[in-house]
Amino acid sequence: MAEGLLDEKRPLAGFLDADGIRDSVDSLRAAFAPRPGVRVLHTFAAKAGSLIPVLRLLADCGMGCEVAGPGELRLAVEAGFSPAHIVLDSPAKTRDELRLALALGVAVAADGLGEIRRIEELRSPGSPSVLGLRVNPQVGGGSIGATSTATAASRFGVALRDPGARERVVRAFAERPWLTRLHTHVGSQGGSLDLIAAGIAETYRLAEEINSSLGTHRVAGIGIGGGLPDDFADDEARPDFAEYAAALRAAAPGIFDGRYDLVTEFGSSLLAGNGFIGARVEYTKDAGGRRIALTHAGAPIATGTVFMPAASPLRVGAFDEAGRPRGGPPMVQDIAGPCSFTGDIVAHTRKLPELREGDFVTLQDTRGYHFSTPWAHNSLPRPAVYGFAGEAGGLRFAPVREAQSLDSVAAESGLRQADALTGLHGRH
């Protein structure tokens, strides 16, 4: 607020702790500290923070990048990731997407056997791309169905327990010497470490089966998709990267013995605890015996929290118009957003000091999704995002993304084509 980044004219902004993100990467590396001969590439799931400055920071930290589509691939290249450290992993890749990835030398995780056949048509001999196949170990779902990707009927990968599927996978590797990696993704949010480890262990056993069947080390790498389940209770990460790695070592110790290259795919857990949203309280009102604080931090920037509040509850901080912590006895309040539908509530029945018009709230523990993938309901403009780092005497801020202008909103809504439909006359 002292820097003018939050005020009446700028009532909403996102903030990211650059040093905190670096510390998270260091913790990940320490947890997976490889033994001699074990090669590990840690990739960041671009969907969890698809802002080029965020991606460039992670590239500068030595991370790779997992992308799901041509837009994220473009962002990863612009951010400076080496193509050899980029993995394209999406369920509906077009031929043009595959041609580009193969030309760049990006690794590709095919989502099914049909895609393997398409890659076979498109790849040229000697292509530098590492090519693999995504499998679904069908070990079950976590507590959040929408984020569980290893259920019996999941739409991702080859369902290994379906009749004949495992044999078809082994045959695909036998017929294609260029197919050298298996990839799996059990889920992140709502998935226990035991469930995640079970899925990875099943994929490891498949790799062993393929290599044994072919009498050669055909599968040379295993892609470990997914990440840590988020913990929104406090500033401690539970479970942490070390617990995650320990669970993998217990379930499938062979993946750490040097015979397989490993590729991890963490996303929001690398930004967890390193971001928050600041929002001005525009109005307050009472309804049904409850105080409601109307802010600009709603569904457009906290979409997951609004639509799945039990899965991603956010802690709320209360501050006065000068930015000082708001004091006073707690009262039950809802923190509402600006959208024109009833459910735009980011925090239900929270006990907070009484909020007043002109106060500010913080939504803590916000991840990259909140900043990089806003939802344009009511044509609300995207807020600014800033990074910060500590320095002697305070903090230094840097703009990550400028606030969207109303001119940009109008342009994205077809301003240049305003007469496109009135000029169409199909009646006779």
Tens of pLDDT, residue by residue over 354-408, are 999 999 999 998 876 787 788 899 999 999 999 999 887 789 999 999 999 999 9
Phi-psi region of 273 (alpha: psi -120 to 50; beta: other; left: phi over 0): left
pLDDT of residue 357: 97
Contact residues for 119 (Cβ-Cβ < 8 A; gap 6+) = 98, 102, 108, 110, 131
pLDDT of residue 192: 79
pLDDT of residue 126: 83
Question: pLDDT, tens digit, for every residue of 163-206?
Answer: 898 999 999 999 999 999 999 987 766 567 888 888 899 999 99
Query: How many angstroms separate the CA atoms of 419 and 24, rounded?
Result: 50
380 pairs with which residues across the strands? none
Half-sphere exposure of 123 (CA within 13 A, CB side): 24
Closest-CA residue to 168 (of 130, 200, 135, 143): 135
pLDDT over 60 (residue 352)? yes
SS3 289: coil
Query: Can you give the residue ranges of every domain in the chain?
Result: 32-266, 273-412
Are 346 and 264 spatial neighbours (Cβ–Cβ below 8 Å)?
A: no
Amino acid at 237: A
Average pLDDT, the chain: 90
pLDDT over 60 (residue 140)? no
Query: How many angstroms separate the CA atoms of 161 and 159, rounded?
Result: 6
286 exposed, middle or buried (CB, 10 Å; 0-12, 13-18, 19+)?
exposed
Rounded (10°) angle between helices 193-214 and 165-175: 50
Query: How many angstroms separate the CA atoms of 342 and 300, rounded?
Result: 14
Are 262 and 40 spatial neighbours (Cβ–Cβ below 8 Å)?
A: yes
Q: Does domain 32-266 have CATH number 3.20.20.70?
A: no
Rounded (10°) angle between helices 113-122 and 165-175: 10
Query: How many angstroms separate the CA atoms of 72 and 91, rounded?
Result: 14
Question: pLDDT, tens digit, for every residue of 27-69?
Answer: 999 999 866 777 999 999 999 999 999 999 999 999 999 999 9
What CATH architecture applies to the domain 273-412?
Beta Barrel (2.40)
**Band of the pLDDT at 139, cuts 50, 70, 90?**
low
pLDDT of residue 162: 85
Query: How many angstroms separate the CA atoms of 356 and 326, rounded?
Result: 10
